[in-house]
Amino acid sequence: MISRKNMGSVSPLLLITLVLGVCFATYNLVTMVMHNRSISKPTIYYNSDGGIFVDPIIEMPESVRKLKRAKMPFHVALTATDAPYSKWQCRIMYYWYKKQKDLPGSEMGGFTRILHSGNPDNLMNEIPTVIVDPLPAGLDRGYIVLNRPWAFVQWLEKATIEEEYVLMAEPDHIFVTPLPNLAHGGYPAAFPFFYIKPDQNEKLLRKFFPEELGPVTNIDPIGNSPVIIKKELLEKIAPTWMNVSLKMKDDPETDKTFGWVLEMYAYAVASALHGVQHILQKDFMLQPPWDLEIGKKYIIHYTYGCDYNMKGELTYGKIGEWRFDKRSFLRGPPPRNLPLPPPGVPESVVTLVKMVNEATANIPNWDAE
């Protein structure tokens, strides 16, 4: 214990130092609180060794981005079939991967097309490819996307990639800008889909995600693509993703409700079963015609048809006077030099068509299936 006498003998210099220290600590605390108020909730915080210890966020703040550091390359992997419809999309996707890969800001590493038809095709020498088996006949019940998790399970068993991370991509993705690694350690990065709504499908999801594991809001509103994730983490999730996909397909109520997004829900559930949360990156991707501008987005996903009249007005649900829809080219590739959309059509659609045209103009033997 410090005696009253000793307390009285404390030097003025020490007292001044203590007061300044308290003031400095208080200033830092207030500054931190004011700064964090400016970030939308929930937010990511970092502890002293750079680890995340609170919830993932929708959009990573610039201050968090700047904490990253050494380059963390990721391997680009997409699943595909040997159908003409899949092949021409893969060729365009691979063209833009090569264009963006080595530009400033990119952390893209190697590339693999996971071909789940079981046999080689005519793109083996053009695109780095690993052949895996499809599901046994009839097991997908006409829902070919069920082959995706099974393809990743097989690829991960035989993959000898150098990168620690994997980007799960799709043939109808175009890299519009160089893509950095958006993941952070054990937190993968994913795109939030507005139509994946775990909280509105609790009754169904409880068949696959029991109550003892927590609220259904632990299931992220995502699919498996685009996702950047550590390879070792994906190795744990992928078999569960495959099994949950098959169980959902076997359940008539779930199959009817989820339809073509069933496999996306299955990945989200499988991740939650393993306690994995994703950083939800809304700038990961844009989807014309609904997203109008490129902005700071990295990937164009052209899954929706783009239909417009000659005034530049969207006629979605009705075939437009001008249109671009990948489903118009189920049996073969689109021709070179597609007509550009009329004036007034959003930047996102114009950019998409220009990028398709550039790729088809420069890919040799474009018309070959």
* Tens-digit pLDDT profile for residues 264-310: 999 999 999 999 999 999 999 999 999 999 999 999 999 999 999 99
In 10 A of CB 110, how many CB atoms? Answer: 15
Whole-number pLDDT of residue 70: 84
- Residue 28 confidence (pLDDT) above 80: no
pLDDT-wise least confident of 17-31, 114-128, 191-205:
17-31
Question: What value does the mean pLDDT take over residues 154-163?
Answer: 94
Q: pLDDT tens digit string along 229-266?
A: 999 999 999 999 999 999 999 999 999 999 999 999 99
User: Residue 185: pLDDT band by 50, 70, 90 thresholds?
Assistant: confident
Whole-number pLDDT of residue 367: 86
Which residue in 154, 184, 192, 218 sits closest to 74, CA to CA?
A: 184
In degrees and rounded to multiples of 5, residue 108 shows phi and psi of: -70, 135
User: Residue 48: pLDDT band by 50, 70, 90 thresholds?
Assistant: very low
- Residue 180 confidence (pLDDT) above 90: yes
Whole-number pLDDT of residue 368: 73
Residues forming a β-bridge with 228: 167, 189
- Residue 5 confidence (pLDDT) above 50: no
Between 45 and 158, the higher pLDDT residue? 158
Pairing mode, strands 108-115 and 74-80: parallel
Whole-number pLDDT of residue 69: 62
For residues 238 and 153, what is the distance between their CA atoms, to the nearest angstrom? 6
Q: pLDDT tens digit string along 61-119?
A: 454 455 556 889 999 999 999 999 999 999 999 999 999 999 999 999 999 999 999 99
Average pLDDT across the chain, whole number: 86
Whole-number pLDDT of residue 62: 53
Between 65 and 159, the higher pLDDT residue? 159
- Residue 45 confidence (pLDDT) above 80: no
In the structure encoding, which two tokens stand for residue 118, read together?
Answer: 């079981």
Whole-number pLDDT of residue 67: 56
Write down all domains in the chain, each with its CATH number in brackets. 74-280 (3.90.550.10), 285-362 (no CATH)
Model pTM score: 0.82
